[in-house]
Structure 1
């Protein structure tokens, strides 16, 4: 598929920045320690079973690919960032899951039309900068009658608000790039998939996060481990006033979302959407 800007020097530079960003920190730790259940939730929603041919797009370290393989599917896990694939290989080996790991680009998937029974992405394809190109690839490589499943942070939920909070401190996005949390809007995803799909089922759900005992614990963890947050801070490391301002903004965001006994629980909202590729 022709990806906007991919063949240009600017397009290649953008993809290189994305690879580098997700190699920062320790995203496999975030997936395993903060949101370990989300991949299995997506796999169940997609109805993945034994013998299915499954593609996990922007798979990271395999949060969804590994549960799909353990359900008996034949799974390909692709991602732009080789460091995440290496972590996934090690994790799959420890869990006894057979997964094929491939470095690829969600906006230009190297697979045949209709190759997979299920094409899914758990908090992955939402970070591809060109949404329409990525959505077109999801549809293209899914067989007619097959399932497309997506789990994405909503704009209104905690993580969507975190990205909105970081936006003024980050470099402006390149032309044509769209914000990741838009994938958490049902209307946006329906527009992207268009009449290529039918039987769309979408629901907003939350994942309970109880790791952070106070707002500062959240800030410290994400500054150390979450690639997009690490990248924003590195980009303004020479400006202590801006660093302090973002520290304050993210701490206050966490404070507003912490609740429960002792204020140690968060509920992070996501959109779970499945659809069937039209025959």
Structure 2
């Protein structure tokens, strides 16, 4: 396996601090929609970047593709490979930084990421890498949280609450949810692709809004660290504000929580 550059060590430590799979597994439907939108075909070489525990990689493998999953967290990739094996699917894994992919130019028919590459600090470098490893005529498919949707509002809430975020969490190019705007994606990819976008709504389900927030604060690595560093009074305020956001997005009428979470589906065909 290719070693991850030292500059990624902070991000690797950050995302290794909690088992993000406990959250990501709830987003599998988003991955199924994405591989269909990108029109992944049997036999195609597919790369899932910042794959985590493999939702999108597995969805592509289920369509008969030859899939490589990359991430900076080795334990997440091991989970992905195990999940694929349970379903009788083959999956290749490679530890890799989304900003420095260890593959030759034009290696893949499709390059995918679901709520993954948006967290890489350097947006432009990441976009350049996605284009570089994709063949002409190949497709880049992304699912990105929007800044105006539920998750975007939660991101903003946590950012405002943290006066000095960890260095690994800082994004010099702006917040992760900028990827959830068509304009930012067009700026990053430029005239190298033909780009289409679709706004979709995912549903985050739990017994209550409080349960939703407890899950995020325990298993969303950047939030877990920031929240645990807060004094008790600030923790209470942040928790209550996050619950209020879930309650506003909740469509359930029976006391449970089914919260609408908007995201941008991006399909870019490389010229």
TM-score when normalising by structure 1: 0.89
In the TM superposition, what is the alpha-carbon distance from 1:247 to its structure 2 partner? 1.4
Is 2:231 the partner of 1:234?
no
Please give the secondary structure, in 2, of the residue aligned with 1:50.
Answer: coil
In the TM superposition, what is the alpha-carbon distance from 1:260 to its structure 2 partner? 2.5
**Cα RMSD between the aligned structures?**
1.7
Dislocated runs of 4+, deviation >6 Å? none
Is 2:37 the partner of 1:41?
no
Q: Which runs of 5+ in 2 are unaligned?
A: none
Q: Which of 250, 253, 268 is matched with 2:245 structurally?
A: 253
Q: Number of aligned pairs?
A: 263
Please give the secondary structure, in 2, of the residue aligned with 1:113.
Answer: coil
Q: Which of 117, 121, 137 is matched with 1:145 structurally?
A: 137
Is 2:207 the partner of 1:213?
yes
Is 2:259 the partner of 1:266?
yes
Measured against aligned partners, the alpha-carbon deviations of 1:52-105 in whole angstroms (never above 9, x if no partner) come to 011111111111001111211111110011121111121111111111100001
Are 2:122 and 2:171, in contact at CA under 8 Å, matched by a contact in 1? no
Q: Which of 4, 12, 16 is matched with 1:23 structurally?
A: 16
Distance across 1 between alignment mates of 2:127 and 2:210: 37
Matches within 5 A, 1:170-189: 170=162, 171-172=164-165, 174=170, 176-189=172-185
Measured against aligned partners, the alpha-carbon deviations of 1:218-245 in whole angstroms (never above 9, x if no partner) come to 1211122222221211332xx2122122
In the TM superposition, what is the alpha-carbon distance from 1:188 to its structure 2 partner? 0.4
Are 2:128 and 2:189, in contact at CA under 8 Å, matched by a contact in 1? yes
Matches within 5 A, 1:1-279: 12=7, 15-32=8-25, 34-170=26-162, 171-172=164-165, 174=170, 176-198=172-194, 200-210=195-205, 212-236=206-230, 239-263=231-255, 264-278=257-271
Please give the secondary structure, in 2, of the residue aligned with 1:269.
Answer: strand
TM-score when normalising by structure 2: 0.92
Distance across 2 between alignment mates of 1:132 and 1:179: 13
Distance across 2 between alignment mates of 1:145 and 1:219: 41
